[in-house]
A and B are shown apart, each in its own frame.
Chain A
Amino acid sequence: MRMGNALLMGVAALAYGVLFAPIVVIVVFGFNAPLGRFNLIWQGFTLENWLHPLRDAALSQAFATSLGLALSASAIATVLGGLMALALTRHRLRARSWIEMLLVLPLTSPEVVLATSLLNLFVQTNLPRGFGTLLIAHSLFCLSYAALTLKARLVEMDGSLEEAAMDLGARPLQAFRLVTLPLIAPGLLAAFLLSFSLSLDDYIISLFTAGETVTLPLYIAGAFQREISPQIHVLATMVLMASVALLGLSVRSGRSA
């Protein structure tokens, strides 16, 4: 028993060690002063990279593109997904299980298949590839995540509160604005953040649909052969810190609601 317990704790500790090993490398190598063009081997400590996080102009440009893309794709996904989640949880629908299946399928399809199908559609319809096609692709794969996240939150939430508001004379839209919306705000934030981080991280689907537009993952993939600047590690650390802060915020607002 005691040995089994020690073994369990050992595996758990090792797992956390492995999970955080690359994260530690990313954070530490933001402070590295590499000799050549590749920030892969530790040479010495410097604050230079953190003082000039935007020195690598092409990297910064790709980062800005990715942020804009992630913001707009998440906005589309959260709105469309939120409306779908409302319909699926607040109304009786005969087609419900079909619609849910349709939402799950993009998640269980390999990314490279989605990428191929979208590229083919854009080629056959002569839609020029660029930011617009990236936005279509990203908002599509974020939509399923956003809708399912919000659906889970709405199921937990008691629908009778809205009924009560309407029994007390609130019109349906008023009830939605004054009761439902504040209650699902943490869920909306969670869905938005999830979509945002998925979009920011996407490589395969972007590779197929980007045309000449360069997102952050596309830039880094290209940089693998050319130059890996320490600014890549700095920006990744910044994104991680922002995610942790926002995650904490969303957990706290979820608790107080």
Chain B
Amino acid sequence: MNVSRRSPRAEARPPLHRQAWLPWLLLTPGLIWLLLWFVLPLAQLLPVSLSENADRFRMTLVFRGRIANYAEVMTQYAPVLARSLAYAAASTALAALIAYPLAWVIRFRGGRWKGLLLALVVLPFFTSSMVRAIAWTTLLGDDGPLLSTLRALGLPPGTRLLNTAVAVVGGLTYNALPFMVLPITLSLERIPTELLDAARDLQAGPWIVFRRVVLPLSAPGLAAGIVLSLIPAAGDVVNAQFLGGPNNRMIGNVVQSLILVQRQLPRGAALALVLMALMTATVLVHVRRHGSSDLTLS
């Protein structure tokens, strides 16, 4: 489109920014980084998951094509796997129920405060997640502000929050909120207000406007929010470790202890790959239906 009006030499050779090798020159360092530290290690996990320990202390392995590793971890940790998925699903559903109204208020009632309201959703995540976990133990502790208030309102004494499933799901829900609010707000943002006015002019009540117009049009954002919340929740380690106590271990905690404590690299790799397969399937289903743009919030 840009016919060069410059020197004949420049015409003979396309200008630098049009040359085919330039983009690859720009891409190479990043691609090498991704191949070396992402693709290669991930590909290596497959043979590792089919190996046996040669020397557990040094974590050396012998490849044996041992598919039994998978059968073993799947049977031994089936309850943990089920619990992880249940906690992830519960926290994602809760986060959606909280985030959707919040995104609605930001989009349709935010006015000129929209940007600030959105920033306030992200702001808490600029504190360390580990320090937030400490703060949660303060808030949810047996003599903490929440339980004291609830007891004053008639909660039977002896009810605990820390080291229960409620605390873990609560922590996961909290972490999922920005991942839910941002894509939903972005998709609500794309709905022209004229469309809502038109629906109201046609005598649609607020519930009908929501069900028939807004919800279908914001479905891609909601779907992206669900994927972006499910994945970190299912693989989470911190919440179960610090808020859940010994009876609420999730897949991430088991992988961690298999590898770092028991030094069972093959079985840890097998369990990690099971988790990876489940999450990749979720992403692929999403990408096939909605494309990948909502996942990167662009």
Contact = CB atoms under 8 A, between A and B. Distances in A.
Interface in B104-153: 104-106, 109, 115, 119-121, 123-124, 126-132, 134-139, 141, 143
B17 A87 contact: no
Contacts of B26: 83-84, 86-87
A26 interface: yes
B98 A15 contact: yes
A19 B177 contact: yes
Given A19-B174, A22-B139, A166 B15 contact: yes
A4 B104 CA distance: 12
Contacts of A25: 135, 138-139
A26 B138 CA distance: 10
A229 to B, nearest CB: 11
B133 to A, nearest CB: 8
Contacts of A137: 37
A171 B121 CA distance: 44
Interface string A14-34: 111011111101100100000
A148 interface: yes
Interface string A158-178: 000011001101011101000
Contact of A172 (B2, B16, B238, B241): B16
Contact of A40 (B105, B134, B174): B134
A62 to B, nearest CB: 11
Interface stretch (B42-50, B64-72, B215-223): B42-50
B7 to A, nearest CB: 11
A180 B7 CA distance: 24
Contacts of A83: 26-27, 29-30
Contact of B40 (A11, A102, A121): A121
B237 A244 contact: no
Contact of B124 (A1, A7, A14, A23): A23
B29 to A, nearest CB: 5
Given A16-B120, A162-B17, A217 B129 contact: yes
A14 B126 CA distance: 20
Nearest to B1: A163
B138 A207 contact: no
A188 interface: no
Prevailing SS type, chain A contact patch: helix
A139 B2 CA distance: 38
A243 B238 CA distance: 22
Given A26-B131, A80-B29, A116-B268, A104 B124 contact: no
Contact of A105 (B6, B23, B33, B38): B38
10 contacts: A8-B101, A84-B26, A99-B27, A102-B31, A110-B234, A111-B237, A204-B238, A217-B130, A228-B134, A247-B126
Interface of B: 2, 5-6, 15-17, 22-24, 26-27, 29-31, 33-34, 37-42, 44-45, 48, 59, 61, 98-99, 101-102, 104-106, 109, 115, 119-121, 123-124, 126-132, 134-139, 141, 143, 174, 177, 205-207, 227, 231-232, 234-235, 237-238, 241-242, 251-252, 255-256, 259-260, 265, 268-269, 272-273, 275-276, 279-280, 283, 292, 295-298
Given A29-B135, A167-B2, A239-B126, 13 more contacts: A26-B134, A41-B141, A99-B27, A108-B231, A108-B280, A110-B275, A118-B41, A121-B41, A124-B44, A143-B30, A155-B298, A204-B256, A244-B123
